[in-house]
């Protein structure tokens, strides 16, 4: 009798656990960059500002999903909020190249059709994520770079800005500091353990690349990433964000992924597509696949993080840095936002 009672209690607990796990269906996950982000270096005001804008970004995309719009619309709307906010290294507030310019990269991918669009090294588009979407939807190409990409965005009717628009004092000071320390090394905008090991003392841990993955009511996934790249990068350097399969990838059959961190390591490890492949060919969960791919980056000496969302609404947000600006929202609108480990 007692065994039966115990068995019943156990059965109910397992069922309850399953129900609560199923109830947590996420429809969106975002990041605002990973790096040496420590609570001790943060003021309460700054922390509140980050939480506010991450929340606002999630709400912007959630509104789209709730009203039946596509996951692509949600990703674009969410990333616009972060590109327009100087707290992040994307759009306004982007980091500077060694030559004191802003060269922006972005990509977007549709998990339903596997169509993708990307721009690299653009210098006049207010919202590079929209330029990436225009490449996907209004051209037969996947990627455009430099002046051609800027011209294409203008012809597509997107908002064009004077390059001064991206300028912020903090990013400019970050460049001067990086040049003073070692004029040849690119550093993550928010600082990184590994860049410290390479000799950089640049601890500008306030900003970050931005990314978003969304799942719409029709069950379609989309992923996007937008960035200014790395402070003090050489002219023409392109990071992982706009490279489909490295910093950005999306497939309804597996997951949508957006990465942040030391781009060269993400390119060499083809991180985003590796996660999708581990899920597709090995049957791994989004959490296990994401961790495995990031571990590889770490073993090679790279640092950063990523976000991923699968078609069932499961998320993963691993990072091997001190912190990562990140957040997610469930189908019923519950928002979670985190910064530190």
Active site residues: 209
Minimum CB–partner distance for residue 112 and ligand ASP (Å)? 26
Nearest residue (CB) to ligand ASP, 240 versus 277 = 240
Number of residues that bind ligand ASP (CB under 6 A): 17
Nearest residue (CB) to ligand ASP, 188 versus 279 = 188
Who contacts 332 (Cβ-Cβ below 8 Å, separation ≥6)? none
Stretch that binds ligand ASP, among 113-121, 136-144, 213-221, 239-247 (CB under 6 A): 239-247
Q: Which of 260, 274, 290, 320 binds ligand ASP (CB under 6 A)?
A: 260
SS3 of the chain:
CHHHHHHHHHHHHHHHHHHHHHHCCEEEEEEEEEECCCHHHCCHHHHHHHHHHHHHHHHHHHHHHHCCCCHHHHHHHHHHHHHCCCCCCCCCCCCCECCCCCCEEEEEEECCCCCEEEEEEECCECCHHHHHHHHHHHCCCCEEEHHHHHHHHHHCCCCECCHHHHCCHHHHHHHHHHHHHCCCCCECCCCCHHHHHCCCCCCCCCCCCEEEEEECCCCCEEEEEEECCCECECCCCCCCCCCECCCEEECCCCEEEEEEECHHHHHHCCHHHHHHHHHHHHCCCHHHHHHHHHHHHHHHCCCEEEEEEECCCCEECCECCCEEEEEEEECCCCEEEEEEC
d(CA 309, CA 65): 15
Nearest residue (CB) to ligand ASP, 33 versus 91 = 33
Binding positions for ligand ASP, 158-197, rule CB under 6 A: 188-189
Nearest residue (CB) to ligand ASP, 32 versus 117 = 32
d(CA 19, CA 291): 25
15, exposed or middle or buried, with CB in 10 Å at 0-12, 13-18, 19+? exposed
Stretch that binds ligand ASP, among 147-155, 257-265, 278-286, 318-326 (CB under 6 A): 257-265
Nearest residue (CB) to ligand ASP, 127 versus 209 = 209
Binding positions for ligand ASP, 261-290, rule CB under 6 A: 261, 263
Nearest residue (CB) to ligand ASP, 70 versus 231 = 231
Q: Is 229 in the site for ligand ASP (CB under 6 A)?
A: yes
Minimum CB–partner distance for residue 305 and ligand ASP (Å)? 9
Q: Which of 29, 30, 32, 33 binds ligand ASP (CB under 6 A)?
A: 33
**Site map 89..128 versus ligand ASP, x via CB under 6 A:** x---------------------------------------
Nearest residue (CB) to ligand ASP, 77 versus 267 = 267
Binding positions for ligand ASP, 300-329, rule CB under 6 A: 304
Q: How many CB atoms lie within 10 A of CB 310?
A: 28
Stretch that binds ligand ASP, among 13-21, 59-67, 110-118, 238-246 (CB under 6 A): 238-246
Stretch that binds ligand ASP, among 41-49, 112-120, 227-235, 289-297 (CB under 6 A): 227-235
Stretch that binds ligand ASP, among 49-57, 77-85, 196-204, 236-244 (CB under 6 A): 236-244
Interacting residues toward ligand ASP by CB under 6 A: 33, 89, 188-189, 208-209, 227, 229-230, 239-241, 247, 260-261, 263, 304
């Amino acid at each position: 009798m007692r065994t039966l009672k115990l068995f019943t209690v156990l059965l109910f607990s397992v069922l309850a656990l399953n129900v609560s796990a199923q109830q947590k269906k996420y429809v969106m996950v975002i990041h605002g960059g990973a790096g040496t982000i420590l609570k001790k270096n943060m003021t309460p005001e700054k922390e509140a500002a980050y939480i506010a804008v991450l929340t606002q970004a999630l709400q912007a995309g959630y509104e789209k999903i709730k009203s039946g719009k596509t996951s692509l619309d949600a990703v674009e709307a969410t990333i616009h909020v972060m590109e327009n906010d100087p707290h992040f290294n994307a759009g306004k507030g982007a980091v500077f190249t060694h030559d004191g310019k802003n060269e922006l990269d972005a990509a977007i991918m549709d998990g339903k059709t596997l169509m993708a669009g990307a721009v690299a090294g653009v210098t006049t588009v207010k919202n590079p994520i929209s330029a990436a979407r225009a490449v996907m939807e209004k051209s037969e190409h996947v990627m455009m770079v430099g002046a051609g990409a800027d011209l294409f965005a203008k012809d597509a009717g997107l908002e064009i800005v004077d390059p001064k628009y991206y300028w912020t004092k903090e990013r400019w000071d970050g460049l001067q500091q990086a040049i003073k320390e070692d004029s040849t090394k690119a550093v993550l905008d928010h600082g990184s353990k590994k860049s410290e090991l390479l000799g950089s003392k640049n601890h500008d841990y306030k900003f970050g690349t931005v990314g978003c993955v969304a799942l719409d009511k029709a069950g379609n996934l989309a992923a996007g990433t937008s960035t200014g790249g790395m402070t003090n990068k050489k002219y023409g350097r392109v990071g992982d964000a706009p490279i489909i399969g490295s910093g950005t990838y999306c497939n309804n059959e597996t997951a949508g992924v957006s990465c942040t961190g030391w781009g060269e390591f993400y390119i060499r490890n083809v991180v985003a597509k590796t996660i999708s492949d581990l899920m597709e060919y090995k049957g791994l969960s989004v959490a296990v696949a994401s961790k495995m791919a990031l571990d590889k980056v770490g073993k090679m000496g790279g640092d950063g993080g990523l976000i991923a969302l699968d078609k069932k609404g499961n998320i993963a947000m691993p990072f091997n840095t001190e912190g990562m600006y990140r957040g997610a929202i469930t189908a019923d609108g519950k928002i979670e936002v985190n910064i530190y480990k």
